[in-house]
Structure 1
Amino acid sequence: MKYSTTNWMAVALMIVGGFLDRTPRITLWCIAMAVIIAGTIGAGRHAWMIRPGHFAERHGLITIIALGELIVALGLPVVETLGDDGDLSGETLVALVAAGAYAALIWWSIFDRPLRALEHRHDLHDDPTERGRYARDVYTYAWLAIVAGIVLAAAGLEEIVLHPSEVPDTAFRWMFLGGTVLTMIGVGIAILRAFTKITFERTAGAAGLVALAALATSLEGLALVIAADLVIVVMLAVEHVRVEARYRNEVDPAAT
């Protein structure tokens, strides 16, 4: 219970900040974030009774909730168009398919391998203190980036899908692609913490998305979503081939 004190303090600061003007509100919310971070640092010095499977399952559900924001983003153009007694254009339909594929790819990038691997690695730690630190680093710090990235990307994707034939505003383009990069970075940080390995494919994919955001200033919304999908598909496919090849070599070294 003593480690919940910092959380309650942060909640109080956020509630008070909600009733203030912009500058003091942001100040109090930043202080609340600092209080929470200080609490997690202090909590990492002591032993914790943690069930790795439970932690992985719950944070997987949190990710599913965040992915729900993407699904909401897909429904808005449909509701807006049909609410005006209009018909969905071909471009809008294709944009919906591309955005749906994007949501599926983000799911794949987290749930196919990383989530299970992180749970398995967590289970290998016998020391309660180390288990607590692992849970903090992976499921608090790294997962914050993962979830924040998904929500940020959903906000940008919503506006892009609403106007697929128009060039998105710079802010929405960076929200969509920057949020995707943030999610990839979060997964990379979690894997680095768990296995002390850099995920080169995801690093390259993140770099590709940053380049796309910086250079695709005249690309229409539909083309932008499709381009992002292609970058993620290539990234995950290359990673899949590499991991499968390594697994086969470990199981049957004679295969090489």
Structure 2
Amino acid sequence: MPIRSACCLGRSGVSTLLTGPALIVVAAFLESPVRELLWTAAALIDVSGPLLVGTGGWRIAPSYFVERHGLVVIIALGEAIVEVGAGAEENLARPAVLGAVVLAVLIAAGLWWSYFGYIRSGAERRLRGAEGQDRARLARDSYSYPHLPLIAGVVFFALGVHEAVAGVDEPLSPLPAPALAGGVALFFAADVGYRWRDHHQLATDRVLAALAAAAVIPLAMFAPALAALAALTVVCALQTG
């Protein structure tokens, strides 16, 4: 979990930190299905550890903590842009493909603005203003957990946007369609959860954006992919701040 990279842990935190990686190392020497079972156990331990063990002994460095999570978001969005280029590589001279590339980049920019526009509004200041266990719990509940679906949303979007740009004239198949629009919806939904836990702010515009993006899934399955990209661009553009 990213939370461990920006804090000092107590003994209980160290135990959950080491157990997951140890299982992954052991799994490297085993065959299926034991290997996959150990991977699953490692993930469950890593994700559930901060809830089951608690945050005792954690010391959070607010500026570093917020910056590290932001960098993970940037990396994920950068990978999505790479997938846009990969999808357009063979047909970049076509006007429709160029238009799809522009729309895809605008969607990624909308996701960037949704996240970093809020970060600039005082996320670090709020984390710095909390003390002791309140700061540790805020770091866990605002960053480590909501950021998992937030990053997953970008990854799903990257999967769908590759196929959308590669086949702008055709509807998307049942996997890329929900990945494209559902990934954007998941990102906005996670952003809502992050803002609520961080500052008890219900971002109604992001709630509406998540619902609108989810509504694009049927469009992506039955209309040309370019239409789905255009609809998602409008969804991102209608954010209020």
Cα pair 2:220 2:227 within 8 Å, conserved: no
Q: Could you say which residue in structure 2 is the equivalent of 1:40? A: 50
Is the contact made by 2:172 and 2:220 (CA closer than 8 Å) also made in structure 1? no
SS at match of 2:202: coil
CA contact (8 A) 1:122 1:134 kept: yes
How far apart, in 2, do the equivalents of 1:216 and 1:167 lie?
Answer: 6
Residue aligning to 1:168 = 172
| 8 Å contact kept, 1:44–1:132 | no
Which residue in the other structure is 2:212 paired with? 208
Alpha-carbon distance in 2 for matches of 1:5, 1:88 = 54
Matched, 1:108 2:113: yes
- Which of 87, 92, 97 in structure 2 is aligned with 1:77? 87
Aligned partners of 2:64 and 2:173: how far apart in 1? 41
The separation in 2 between residues aligned to 1:101 and 1:16, in whole angstroms, is 43
Q: CA deviation at 1:135?
A: 0.7
Which string of whole-angstrom CA distances, capped at 9 and with x for unpartnered residues, describes residues 4-32 of structure 1?
A: 332332123334446543x5444333322
Distance (whole Å) between structure 2 residues aligned to residue 61 and residue 155 of structure 1: 20
Q: Percent identity?
A: 30
Ranges in structure 1 where 5+ consecutive residues have no aligned partner:
82-86, 241-256
Name the CA distance, whole Å, in 2 between partners of 1:14 and 1:200. 41
Question: 8 Å contact 1:48–1:132 — kept in the other structure?
Answer: yes
- Of 89, 99, 106, the residue aligned with 2:104 is 99
* Alignment correspondent of 2:234: 230
Corresponding residue for 2:63?
A: 53
Residue 114 of structure 1 contacts residue 187 of structure 1 at CA under 8 Å; is this kept in 2? no
In the TM superposition, structure 1's runs of 4+ consecutive aligned residues that sit over 4 Å from their partners are 15-19, 23-26
**TM-score when normalising by structure 2:** 0.87
Whole-Å separation in 2 of the counterparts to 1:6 and 1:47: 13
Displacement after TM superposition at 1:184 (Å): 1.0
2:22 pairs with 1:12:
yes
Give yes or no for contact 2:209–2:236 (8 Å, CA) kept in 1.
yes
1:55-91, Cα deviation, whole Å (9 max, x unpaired): 111111111111111111121134334xxxxx62111
Q: Secondary structure at the match of 1:58?
A: helix
Q: Does the CA contact (< 8 Å) of 2:84 and 2:158 recur in 1?
A: no
1:97–1:215 distance in 2 versus 1, CA, 3 Å: closer
Counterpart residue number, 2:184: 180
Max Rg structure: 1
Could you tell me how far apart the structure 2 residues matched to 1:216 and 1:158 are? Answer: 13
RMSD: 2.0
Residue identity matched to 1:90: P
1:45 and 1:129 in contact (8 A); partners too: yes
Any gaps of 5 or more consecutive residues in structure 2?
1-8
Q: TM-score, normalised by structure 1?
A: 0.82
